[in-house]
Amino acid sequence: MAAVFARADFPWWIAGGYAIELAVGRELRPHSYLDVLVLRRDQMLVPDLLAGWDLYVADPPGQGELRPWRPGEVLQSPLHDIWCRRTPVAPWSIQIMLDEAEGTQWVSRRHSAIRLPIGRLGRTSETGIPYLAPEVQLFYKAKATREKDEADFEAVLPLLDAPARAWLAGAIKVIAASHPWLRRLQPVIRT
């Protein structure tokens, strides 16, 4: 999929569990599909990139309902998930998530106070694959943690530097002031 998206003339980032694995440099578990983050303002470039693919929108979000993404349809908030498969009978292989941006700032779709410069939103793997910064991916995983999210947190936590930990803690406090990860994100004080 990285080869498909390498043709894109817009920013994109591998997200979800694969982003965590790119950050830690090893596989943590099997995956059934690939998450890719795209800025909402670039959404109309996706159908050209995935020409011939079967593209569906999760509508309403979080309810499990999928409907075809109509040609030329601009998806407005709260619609943010596009499910993609190569043919109508193939399994879903990509979930594209649309996130907001204002100028050079990424704006979380969960809360507009949570922001980052777009240039800090992601990292690049040794093989040149862009992926979501682990602190941003953990922020999304913090909403309703599952066992795999806890495992991802444990795998990435030692790799987060002080600024990344501070950003993640600040972002989580906005959406869940008593989240259990907050205690673990406190800066390490060395004597």
pLDDT, position 187: 63
pLDDT in tens, 14-30: 999 999 999 999 999 98
pLDDT in tens, 154-180: 999 999 999 999 999 999 999 999 999
Provide the pairing of β-strand 34-39 with 94-102.
Answer: parallel
pLDDT, position 190: 43
pLDDT in tens, 71-126: 999 999 999 999 999 999 999 999 999 999 999 999 999 999 999 999 999 999 99
| Residues pairing with 84 in the sheet | 55, 94
Closest CA to 39 of 124, 129, 116: 116
pLDDT, position 47: 96
pLDDT, position 64: 75
Task: Write the CA distances from 172 to 114, 154, 178, 189, 190, integer angstroms.
Answer: 9, 16, 9, 21, 24
pLDDT, position 3: 85
pLDDT in tens, 17-66: 999 999 999 999 989 899 999 999 999 999 999 999 999 999 987 777 99
Please tell me the distance from the alpha carbon of residue 173 to that of residue 75, in angstroms, as a whole number.
Answer: 29
Q: What percent of the chain has pLDDT over 70?
A: 97
In this prediction, residues 185-189 reach a mean pLDDT of 65
Q: Do 68 and 56 contact (CB within 8 A), yes or no?
A: yes
Q: Which domains does the chain have, with CATH numbers?
A: 2-132 (3.30.460)
